[in-house]
Structure 1
Amino acid sequence: MTAGLNSTVVVGAGAVGGFFGAMLARAGHPVTLIGRAAHVQAIEANGLQLRKDGKVEAIRTAATTDMNAVGDADLVLFCVKSTDTETVARQIAPLLKDDALVLSLQNGVDNASSIARHVRQTVVPTVVYVATSMPEAGVVAHHGRGDLVIGPLDAAAVDDVALRRRLDAVVELFAKASVPVVISADVIGELWSKLLVNCVFNPISAIAQLPYGRMVALPEIRQTMDAVIREVVAVAQADGQKLTFDVASAAVDKIAAGMPTQMSSTAQDVARGKPSEIDHLNGFIVRRGGELGVPTPVNQALHALVKLIESGRAAV
């Protein structure tokens, strides 16, 4: 076992949490998945079915619906939707070990801070780069990438030797599971970059119900994507970030090239009639832009259209 990280619990074992939990369990690390009843029942019956590299592998791992299982964790992978962050953080706060390490594997830039307001343990912002889906209960499909960027929530903690040792232990643990992890001194800046990518791809994929490759192939959509990039960059810069249009555009191109068949998580939520995280993506940019005096009309339109689709599905 990696020093100090003898057991991992995944809180919110959907497509993302299920994938990283499966990779750790596959490498022999003790993992417990906390998820919905149907998902847990399927895992208990047949193992977690991991579809990866053209193969299907049954990963045997513990699974439960009981949040109390988090009390056994040295490492917590916090993978719930942004809409549930505050509720779940309050729920696990009294259950965690004193020395548990909490990694926030979530979209958006403010989830780790939200968790840290409720738990006294160390919370680590984590940027997730993976294309996954959960086509049915007990099944996680991998479509591309599968790497993480981690770093201190507080920039002042960059030189904290004890924290660095803990982050190094995370890198070592995931390396044994063939998951690359990079430590960044500016993980919040990395989260802004990921937020930008999500703001570009998620709503358009959701509205059109099309994958990334189809989106970028249409010049009119590429122009819309560029408009989103400009707005998010303007808000990020007004918020003190160093993001630039050229760097952001290159990141978008890289995602489109690396995940051409991927449907965004928002598209998957909309297709299933589930609430999406759009309020924490484009909606966040609209709110933050308003606070900083930065116009965001394209983000506002995309946010509103996804909300309209969600309201229509809810009314059916």
Structure 2
Amino acid sequence: MKVAVMGAGAVGCFYGGMLARAGHDVVLIGRPQHVDAIAREGLRLEAQQFDERIGAPHLTAGTEASAISGAQLVLFCVKSTDTESAGASIKPFLGADTLVLTLQNGVDNADRLRGVIANDVAAAVVYVATEMAGPGHVRHHGRGELVIEPSRSSESVAHALIAAGVPTEISPNVRGALWAKLIVNCAYNALSAITQLPYGRLVQGAGVNAVMQDVFDECVAVAQADGVTLPPEIHGAIERIAQTMPGQYSSTAQDVARGKRSEIDHLNGYVVQRGAALGVKTPANRLLQTLVRLVEDKAHGAI
């Protein structure tokens, strides 16, 4: 199978690397510094069970969307803020039968992408802790499961992922699973970003658990008002994250640390937006969104 990864950051490099390691032909589309490093030395995939460099012929990299040509599967891993623009950039190079699998934070990316391209689009819920440790170097901290929305090609893609060592399941309630992940992200991401603390240390702070509970309650209220069926295990998910990934910094924290704009408007900000539309008050989420945006604006000289 030929696979293209659009937006080859930590998540895209991990899953692309796993598929290439299993013998699929993978092209990573990312930033020049990563592409150059991969062209020189291959992708370093530092996982929990192995530390390998993966390169040609099964793994290559480029900076242009045209590299997608001929791919049967596209792992769409761009930031939520770039969904429409990235979708438009790949549209001319997609084959009629190409499946585009969205591996993104937030709950509405697949729907937004369907408004841009005519291809089969399936949402995936991603449960993995990764970071880019340097150009062409992805470090895996834990987990790696995918939950995929049913589509014409989902079953064959799931089999390929499982064979590549990626636990994968197809679920008819991906919307509920996306919301469950959104709720966890809303509880952790902003607080980790503001404090620049990993999850395990973050939850030791005085009052943190109460704030997380406030965020959780607001998110659940919005989800229920929006007709979302949440999985029953959502109630213990927040506590488990700190236990299973104590050293992990949120993606929002990583963006803030690098001086980049984060996806906060598609996390806590999305809950605020949907809450306003549905008549559900979300003061805790609004405060966290505002604080992260203030940190970002300060770093960019906007205030």
TM-score for both structures, normalised by structure 1: 0.92
- Once the two structures are superposed, what CA deviation does each residue of 1:289-313 show, in whole Å capped at 9, x if it has no partner? 1111100000000000000000111
Matched residue type, 1:28: G
- Once the two structures are superposed, what CA deviation does each residue of 1:205-231 show, in whole Å capped at 9, x if it has no partner? 000000111122235101111110000
Tell me if 1:26 matches 2:21: yes
| TM superposition shift of 1:91 | 1.3
> Paired residue for 1:106, among 104, 107, 112?
104
Matched residue type, 2:288: L
2:182 counterpart residue number: 195
1:91 counterpart residue number: 89
Structure 1 residues 111-260: aligned runs within 5 Å: 111-152=109-150, 163=151, 166-243=153-230, 247-260=233-246
| TM superposition shift of 1:242 | 2.6
Matched residue type, 2:298: G
| TM superposition shift of 1:70 | 1.0
Is the 8 Å Cα contact of residues 5 and 76 (structure 2) preserved in structure 1? yes
Structure 1 residues 60-75: aligned runs within 5 Å: 60=55, 61-75=59-73
Between the aligned partners of 2:49 and 2:147, the Cα distance in structure 1 is 26
| TM superposition shift of 1:55 | 4.6
Tell me if 1:308 matches 2:294: yes
Is the 8 Å Cα contact of residues 216 and 222 (structure 1) preserved in structure 2? yes
- Once the two structures are superposed, what CA deviation does each residue of 1:6-36 show, in whole Å capped at 9, x if it has no partner? 2000000000001000011111111000000
- Once the two structures are superposed, what CA deviation does each residue of 1:226-266 show, in whole Å capped at 9, x if it has no partner? 1100000000001001338x743301122221111100000
Tell me if 1:11 matches 2:6: yes
Structure 1 residues 255-266: aligned runs within 5 Å: 255-266=241-252
1:272 counterpart residue number: 258
Between the aligned partners of 1:54 and 1:201, the Cα distance in structure 2 is 27
Distance 1:298-1:51 versus aligned 2 partners, 3 A rule: same
Structure 1 residues 32-43: aligned runs within 5 Å: 32-43=27-38
SS in 2 for 1:80: coil
1:284 counterpart residue number: 270
Is the 8 Å Cα contact of residues 43 and 138 (structure 1) preserved in structure 2? yes
Q: May I ask how many residue pairs the two structures share in their alignment?
A: 299
Is the 8 Å Cα contact of residues 81 and 263 (structure 2) preserved in structure 1? yes
- Once the two structures are superposed, what CA deviation does each residue of 1:60-79 show, in whole Å capped at 9, x if it has no partner? 11100011011221000000
Matched residue type, 1:172: H
Between the aligned partners of 2:254 and 2:205, the Cα distance in structure 1 is 21
Between the aligned partners of 2:149 and 2:247, the Cα distance in structure 1 is 30
Q: Percent of aligned positions with the same letter in both sequences?
A: 53
SS in 2 for 1:135: strand
Is the 8 Å Cα contact of residues 73 and 98 (structure 2) preserved in structure 1? yes
2:41 counterpart residue number: 46
Structure 2 residue runs of 5 or longer lacking an equivalent are none
Structure 1 residues 71-82: aligned runs within 5 Å: 71-82=69-80
Between the aligned partners of 1:140 and 1:39, the Cα distance in structure 2 is 10
> Cα RMSD over matched residues?
1.3
Tell me if 1:57 matches 2:52: yes
Structure 1 residue runs of 5 or longer lacking an equivalent are 1-5, 153-162
| TM superposition shift of 1:189 | 0.9
Is the 8 Å Cα contact of residues 215 and 222 (structure 1) preserved in structure 2? no
Is the 8 Å Cα contact of residues 229 and 248 (structure 1) preserved in structure 2? no
Between the aligned partners of 2:243 and 2:87, the Cα distance in structure 1 is 35
Between the aligned partners of 2:235 and 2:262, the Cα distance in structure 1 is 25
